[in-house]
Amino acid sequence: MLLHLRVHLCALFLALSPLASLAAPPSYDHPSQTVLSQAALSDILFRGLPILGPDNGCSKTLKTCDWMAKIPDNTPLVRMNLPGTHDTSTWNYSATTQASLTGYTGPLPPAYLFRCQERSLLQSLNDGIRVFDLRFAYNPGNDTIGFYHSLLAPTTTMTDIFFGLYQWLNKHPTEAVLVSINHESGTGTPYDAKIQEMVYDVINSDIGNTYWGQTSGSLGTLGQARGKLTLLQRFTFDLLPAYKTKRIGIQLDPGHWTDNGKAIELVYNADKGLTAFIEDYYDSSLPLTSTPSQFIEEKFGATTAHLGNATLFNPDQLYISFVSAAAIVTGVVKVDMTPRVGCGFSLLALVFFCFCLGFVVLLPARCFSLSWFFFPPSFLSPSFP
């Protein structure tokens, strides 16, 4: 493959270091500076708990926290198999949470239809997940930025989550983390110049420049990405002031990301001839009378065809695959996780899963699973995203 990245998305109490450790520390000697910095970071991470979750540490047997340490620095990221989580921030979304936010959202379908993960963001990192799918929009009041698949945590901000990621990278400097960021439409909040500038300023702040990889237009090597976040930008900066021209990571233009596509080709760097090949087929075209196994077979075929192409064509390009989908099935009244293991591909890609349950031992294991949501027609409504 040209550079193969396939993304399979499935989805705190920390031993805190001083806030000053997240950036170049000021030249103060007074001990109270450390105390204040530590307190500030503690407060930030506490606000981030609903999305970040607790950091319960690393498995002593699986050793997935630092699995990238054994891979040479000169390895192109696109030639690695990087497991990811789909709608990462939904792990903590429950019926209780949903009920507490009804004043903001109005009535919604059952909470489990929005929940794509069971492991927290920080625990997923410890499990070996290295690509995350975050969907942002204004929090209520349009003054801060939060994360959505429905409103998830109105007091948690984008800055809180990024600080949690920075803190984790401080403890695991051999690791590289890719963050796919997309604006969540349908929230009833505007996507305006203000929110674009807020996101730009968070990423390009002094501390952002320290923790976000500064490579632009390509993904580079593992050595360049260690200890950093790499941006996969699925939103536009078309309303920014003219002087805010800096761009990092790669832009996957939402205007060219075909909805429900089996074989999307999205050029993200025309000068270098770099294309992302994407399988994001989540909504089956089969009749509603089809059985669960028929829905699964159709999705399985789309995913395996895409991954098969990744092993045969365009060896230096990026491959992204989503292995989850949804279908309406009469009589099924709960989320149904259907394991379907497919082997035989030497995977070199980013792979996004739903419901990653701490399985990552090193995904060069040549296998992947498919996750499905089945629900009856009565659960659908115009407000369901």
In this predicted model, what pLDDT tens digit does every residue of 35-53 receive, in sequence order? 888 899 999 999 999 999 9
Return the SS3 of 225: helix
Taking the alpha carbons of 49, 135, 193, 243 in that order, is the dihedral positive or negative? Answer: positive
Query: In which domain, by residue range, is 120 found?
Result: 33-379
Please state, as a whole number, how many other Cβ atoms lie within 10 Å of the Cβ of residue 258.
13
Residue 18 belongs to a domain: no
Gap between the Cα atoms of 165 and 167, Å rounded:
5
Q: Which of 20-29, 87-96, 311-320, 327-336 has the lowest mean pLDDT?
A: 20-29
Residue 274 belongs to a domain: yes
Residue 66 belongs to a domain: yes
Q: Token pair of 37, please? A: 């910095």
Residue 120 belongs to a domain: yes
Residue 70 belongs to a domain: yes
Type and span of the H or E element at 183: strand 177-183
Total count of domains within the chain: 1
Pairing of the two strands 350-353 and 229-233: unpaired
Kindly write down the DSSP assignment for every residue of 78-109, as one continuous string: GGS-EEEETTGGGTT--HHHHHHTHHHH-S-S
Task: Assess contact for 347 and 303: CB atoms under 8 A.
Answer: no
Task: Assess contact for 77 and 230: CB atoms under 8 A.
Answer: yes
Task: Assess contact for 321 and 303: CB atoms under 8 A.
Answer: yes
> What's the pTM?
0.82
Note the pLDDT tens digit of each residue in 284-301. Answer: 989 988 888 888 899 989
Per-range mean pLDDT, top range of 160-164, 360-364, 377-381: 160-164
Note the pLDDT tens digit of each residue in 227-253. Answer: 999 999 999 999 999 999 999 999 999
User: Which pLDDT does position 354 carry in this prediction?
Assistant: 62
Task: Assess contact for 219 and 179: CB atoms under 8 A.
Answer: no
For residue 287, give the amino acid letter: P
Q: What is the CATH number of the domain that holds 310?
A: 3.20.20.190
Residue 345 belongs to a domain: yes
Note the pLDDT tens digit of each residue in 116-167. Answer: 888 999 999 999 999 999 999 999 999 999 998 877 889 999 999 999 999 9
Residue 71 belongs to a domain: yes
Gap between the Cα atoms of 55 and 52, Å rounded:
8
Q: What is the mean pLDDT of residues 212-224?
A: 96
For residue 256, give the amino acid letter: H
Residue 178 belongs to a domain: yes
Question: Distances from the Cα of 192 to the Cαs of 39, 71, 240, 321, in angstroms?
Answer: 33, 41, 9, 30
Return the SS3 of 302: helix
Note the pLDDT tens digit of each residue in 175-208. Answer: 999 999 999 998 889 999 999 999 999 999 999 9
Return the SS3 of 1: coil
- CA neighbours closer than 13 Å in the CB half-sphere of residue 82: 34
User: Which pLDDT does position 77 carry in this prediction?
Assistant: 93
For residue 337, give the amino acid letter: M
Task: Assess contact for 199 and 158: CB atoms under 8 A.
Answer: yes
